Amino acid sequence: MRKNIVAGNWKMNNDLSQTESLLKALQDQKTTSNAEVMVAPTFTNLSQAVSTLKDSNIEVVAQNMHFAENGAYTGEISASMLKSIGVKTVILGHSERREYFNETDELLAKKVDAALAKGMRVIFCFGEELADRKAGNEEAVVGSQIKNALFHLSAAAFRNIVLAYEPVWAIGTGETASPEQAQDMHAFIRQTLANKYGEDVADGVSILYGGSVKPANAEEIFSKPDVDGGLIGGASLKAEDFFAIVNAF
C-alpha cells in the first residue's frame, strides 16, 4: 500500500539558529494526520536536525547528493556521508538542480543508483516547463524524464522510490496546477509505471505533487485519487502553514 507523504523542502533557507527555531515550532504542532512527514534542511544543518527530531515522527531528508562514494569532488556530499548522520532519504532531480546546476536525466540516473545502492529512499522530482504545457507536450516530457532516469531499475527498486511531480511553472510562482491537472498527470505517471512494471508496482508508488501547495489548496489537491501527498517549498518554512498542509490528510 502506498503511503501519504508531506515533505518540506527548505531549499537554501535558514541558518543554524533559524533551523533550530523552525524545528522547535514543528515539534510543537499538533497532528492527527496519517501522512509521513519529512523536512529537508540544508546540508550544514542536517546533523543538528536529525538529533533535534530523533524522538519525533518527522524524518530529516537531504536535498541532494553526489553519485560517487567519495573522492575528488570538491563541495559534494555522498550517500554514505548522509547515512552516517542518520539521513535515510534524499530528494533528487529537483527542477532547480536541473536548471541551475545542469543536472540531466543521465546524471540523475547515476545519483538514483548510488542512493538505492546504499539502501536510501529517493524522492525523485520531475515536471514540465510552461512552454511544454503550452505546446501540449507535458506528458511526453514527463514520460521521458521518468524513463530516462528510472526505467533501468528493477521492479523491486521502486519500494524505495517516491515520485514528485512538480510542474516548473508552478514552483514558487503562486501558480498551482489545478487539482484536475494534477490528477490527470498523476494518473498518466501511474499508467506509465504500470505499462513498464505492472499494476502492483504502480499502485505501490507514492506520487507527490509540488508547486505552490498552501493550506488553502492542499486538501483539494490531496483529495485526488492519484495524489499521495506533497513536496512543499515556501509554505514549509512556517510551522503552522506546513502542519496545516500535513493535516489536510
The residues that touch ligand PGA, with contacts defined as CB under 6 A, are 9, 166, 171-172, 210-213, 231-235
Q: Is 166 one of the catalytic residues?
A: yes
Nearer to ligand PGA by Cβ, of 193 and 231: the residue is: 231
Q: Give the CB-nearest residue to ligand PGA.
A: 233
Note the maximum CA span of the chain: 48
| Smallest gap from residue 74 Cβ to ligand PGA (A) | 26
CB atoms within 10 A of CB 123: 27
Q: Is 186 one of the catalytic residues?
A: no
Report, in angstroms and rounded to the nearest whole number, the Rg of the chain calculated over CA atoms: 17
C-alpha 240 chain-centroid distance:
20
| Smallest gap from residue 238 Cβ to ligand PGA (A) | 12
Nearer to ligand PGA by Cβ, of 201 and 236: the residue is: 236
Query: What are the start-end ranges of the H helices in 135-226?
Result: 138-150, 179-197, 199-204, 215-222
Residue among 36, 59, 96, 166 flagged as catalytic: 166
Residue among 36, 66, 94, 128 flagged as catalytic: 94
| Smallest gap from residue 135 Cβ to ligand PGA (A) | 22
| Smallest gap from residue 69 Cβ to ligand PGA (A) | 27
Nearer to ligand PGA by Cβ, of 68 and 237: the residue is: 237
Task: Give me the amino acid identity at 78.
Answer: S
CA distances from 10 to 18, 56, 245 (A): 11, 18, 15
**Residues involved in catalysis:** 94, 166
